[in-house]
Amino acid sequence: MEKIKRHYLLILLGVLASLLVTAAVPLPYQPFAFSSVGKSDLVRLTVDNQSTGSLYLWLDGPSFYYMVVKAKESEVFTVMRGKYQETVKACGDTVKTTLDMSTNQKLIMPKCGSKSVTSGVVDLGHLIKIIKISVENESSTKMIVVLEGPATYVFSFDKDQKKNYTVAKGDYKVTYYACGRTGTRNFSVYKGHDLILDCPK
């Protein structure tokens, strides 16, 4: 009887040992791959401001952004992918348009009144319509001049002084203060023009 028990015990130990050896054998290599990740919801927006003044940019779409890029500087922003209503303020002009940010974009604001020569970018110089003008005070006193139109400008002059400016293209109402009186007139800016002002009548 003891021999039979010992025999079964040996068989049981052999089976257990066999199971342990089998469990330790590595399984055949099973290759696998991660599922591909979809396009990122974020894209890169580069704004290169080559003008001599700050550029202000508002984007309204999948999200809202307000950006400021100082003169002669370039900034990189990360925005949500999609289409935006875009407002740009630069060189004394403000324009509204659309901007497709389904891919990375680069905006360039060249020197006021000029166009960018870089290809493959969004040239803000085509949107910002700037005209060079001169304003002259022919009165015998100091003068304050206010232009109201596509943008608003305030200029000050000493007597008999002439200055050159760049302003947004369009029609303006001119209000000027000199000689103790106030005068008004209209002024259209579509090509280079001189605005000559004397004492209001």
Per-residue DSSP letters for 70-115?
-TTEEEEEEEESEEEEEEEEETTEEEEEEEEESS-EEEEE-STT--
> Rounded to whole angstroms, how far apart are CA atoms 109 and 184?
33
* pLDDT, tens digit (0-9, with 9 covering 90-100), for 23-75: 333 333 333 333 333 458 999 999 999 988 999 999 999 999 999 999 999 99
Domains of the chain, each with CATH number or no CATH: 42-128 (2.60.40.10), 131-197 (2.60.40.1120)
pTM: 0.61
> Rounded to whole angstroms, how far apart are CA atoms 144 and 141?
10
Cα dist from 80 to 42, 43, 56, 84, 143, whole Å? 5, 6, 19, 10, 48
* pLDDT, tens digit (0-9, with 9 covering 90-100), for 150-173: 888 999 999 999 999 888 888 999
Strand partners, 189: 170
* pLDDT, tens digit (0-9, with 9 covering 90-100), for 123-155: 998 888 888 899 999 999 999 999 998 888 999
Distance of CA 171 to the CA centre of its chain: 28
Strand partners, 36: none
Q: How many CB atoms lie under 10 A from the CB of residue 135? A: 24
